[in-house]
Structure 1
């Protein structure tokens, strides 16, 4: 069967990548008779670019224009077979995709199930920076995944999942398709904590959710079979610069090599200096920050971060590459970072700096912000720690 996205993209050069072509075609499927201007608004594209994409999809037989833009029967069939949209509850989908509240009354049954599941989950291990997000937060992340066109028919990875986002995504998917198992969507979890993996696995078996669990210490590179296969990933890493960089790096290695793929990063609200250091890490990894939603996540008993954290949606580019590709040996979790003295070496001139509470510079983010005192370079390798 021909791939309409590849055929259309072969004739237009888009900085945004193929993701926007997929979104435009899907808008036509979900909203028959949609206008070109409405398509442009929905895909955040200038009208001339949306028009060009529309014309290419018409040429290859996916769309037709009569009383607005519509999918052809062949185009509908392709979307339903290749992306797995056949049998979807259209009314619920449109309701969830609309602007407004992200927790809807139609999902009260899922929320009730999630609350019970959350109440029985394993106790968090604060030594590895676990915390208890609420059922509402976990479901909110699943709905966000849907709104970003990254759920139905996609390969989804959770880089750590003590928040049970995999379960929320699975339950939402099941609700959208009248509790039928969805063959085109697959959800994977990589986590060091076997307790959570066993719990998630048991729920997946009981509820018949398409979840696959992998026991993995993220200080080690992901196994080869998990690399280059996913359409998006979620992570709520340790709230250290090293933790964020490592977890995002492992997620990047798991993504397909495509522009515009989303990364759903939950992270504490931080100081301007720390935020600047994070943004430098994203730029160094070839990522763009598409959206930041403050106070998106709510946690039980996480007073240190005022029970809230932000959701940051990063997106891949042609230059995206993970910063950490080898075994990770630096301090990772909050407790480790606070008590460890580390020696960093400037990548440009070789100058060595002690980093830690008792060191010359207290934190790696501060060192990166101020740069090497000898040459001004802002990139460093950790060479030792005590």
Structure 2
């Protein structure tokens, strides 16, 4: 496909024909750029580059920040037999396989508490998922046997209040929540104290620093939310694995196709296998992110072919679960600031 060659000639190599077809499929049902990104499962810079190429070839036009297929664009869809984007996700569970309302009391309690949560800040690459997402995470963890009687650490992921949600849910043996953001830890500790929650502790901790012995090999389950450069992913997952007691331990985290390509997912998955983990669950689009207030300051806003900010949920990530096998690799090295840089795929920090 000529369009693919044009985009690759501009320096974006991690694409193939299917990616172009997905953009066309999305454009057949929406004129909103951010929904195109969502439906096509592409990093924002890649989707933007494809749209710009389509503009140059007269296959789309932009009017009032809406992207419209031209007659020529519709002809391309017909020529290559490109169908419309379709979504047959279960409406009851929103495609997660875990209906958040299965525990109504837990859901209502969490929603009431979370409404006063600190707002996400760009400094720490934060973005909060919907309350339904957080509740579904906890229910999924319990369904997989990773809460009741377990010692759990939630590390660098409290912008979603997942640690606090587990604390409210209960059933664990011990829960430790660590995050660099003092606001989140103060919020958690306030709720923990007010409700008299037991066997839970929230502390400020910078994951760039190696763990002390009190963290190493002391937990059954970790939850984290790694930045999506390969170096950052590798470093954050290593931090999680360092806390696990023994084989059979589990880890949870999210990975997007909004800040990473499928090519990078391959690198992520190879690294997991190398260190002795096996992927047991990948639930695509499990995590729905609410739009963050600093969008206009992101690379995503700068490279988008439209100026209109997203109105609906468009940023989603898959929910991964891994389990550790005998002989898994445990490391505890310092993490350099350099791993957090933006690259050609990342754009939302």
TM-score of the superposition, structure 1-length normalised?
0.55
Matched, 1:332 2:339: yes
- 2: CA distance between counterparts of 1:273 and 1:172? 37
* Deviates further, 298-307 or 277-286: 298-307
TM superposition shift of 1:221: 1.0
**Cα deviation digits, residues 302-321 of structure 1 (max 9, x gap):** 68692211001111011211
Question: Secondary structure, in 3 states, of the residue corresponding to 2:142?
Answer: helix
Paired residues in the alignment total 229
Q: Which runs of 4+ in 1 moved over 6 A?
A: none
2:245 to 256, 260, 264: 256
Q: Verify the 8 A CA contact 2:124 2:181 in the aligned structure 1.
A: no
Q: CA 1:106/1:273 → structure 2, altered by over 3 Å: closer, same or farther? A: closer
Matched, 1:136 2:155: no
- 1: CA distance between counterparts of 2:272 and 2:101? 37
Q: Verify the 8 A CA contact 1:230 1:256 in the aligned structure 2.
A: yes
Q: Verify the 8 A CA contact 2:101 2:107 in the aligned structure 1.
A: no
Partner of 1:102: 98
Q: CA 1:309/1:281 → structure 2, altered by over 3 Å: closer, same or farther? A: same
**Cα deviation digits, residues 64-113 of structure 1 (max 9, x gap):** xxxxxxxxxxxxxxxxxxxxxxxxxxxxxxxxxxxx95235452232222
Q: Verify the 8 A CA contact 1:260 1:316 in the aligned structure 2.
A: yes
Question: Secondary structure, in 3 states, of the residue corresponding to 1:133?
Answer: coil
- 2: CA distance between counterparts of 1:101 and 1:311? 11
TM superposition shift of 1:148: 1.1
TM superposition shift of 1:297: 0.7
TM superposition shift of 1:243: 2.1
TM superposition shift of 1:164: 1.0
Matched, 1:165 2:162: yes
TM-score of the superposition, structure 2-length normalised?
0.61
Question: Secondary structure, in 3 states, of the residue corresponding to 1:292?
Answer: strand
Partner of 2:82: none
Larger radius of gyration: 1
Question: Secondary structure, in 3 states, of the residue corresponding to 2:334?
Answer: coil
What are the equivalent positions in structure 2 for 1:175-194 lying under 5 Å apart?
185-194=173-182
Question: Secondary structure, in 3 states, of the residue corresponding to 1:214?
Answer: strand
Partner of 2:320: 312
Matched, 1:209 2:197: yes
- 2: CA distance between counterparts of 1:318 and 1:277? 22
Q: Verify the 8 A CA contact 2:211 2:332 in the aligned structure 1.
A: no
TM superposition shift of 1:242: 2.1
Q: CA 1:272/1:104 → structure 2, altered by over 3 Å: closer, same or farther? A: closer
Question: Secondary structure, in 3 states, of the residue corresponding to 2:227?
Answer: coil
- 2: CA distance between counterparts of 1:143 and 1:126? 29
- 1: CA distance between counterparts of 2:154 and 2:316? 20
Partner of 1:241: 230
- 1: CA distance between counterparts of 2:225 and 2:272? 16
Query: Relative CO higher for 1 or 2, CA cutoff 8 Å, sep ≥ 6?
Result: 2
Matched, 1:153 2:149: yes
Aligned-residue Cα RMSD (Å) equals 2.3
- 2: CA distance between counterparts of 1:110 and 1:330? 38
Partner of 2:33: none
- 2: CA distance between counterparts of 1:285 and 1:204? 35
**Cα deviation digits, residues 190-237 of structure 1 (max 9, x gap):** 211111011111111112223211221111111211111101011112
- 2: CA distance between counterparts of 1:190 and 1:167? 11
Q: Verify the 8 A CA contact 1:242 1:330 in the aligned structure 2.
A: no
1:227 to 198, 216, 221: 216
TM superposition shift of 1:268: 1.0
- 2: CA distance between counterparts of 1:101 and 1:281? 27
Partner of 1:300: 290
Q: Verify the 8 A CA contact 1:191 1:217 in the aligned structure 2.
A: yes
Unaligned 5+ segments in structure 1 are 1-99, 174-181, 339-356, 364-386
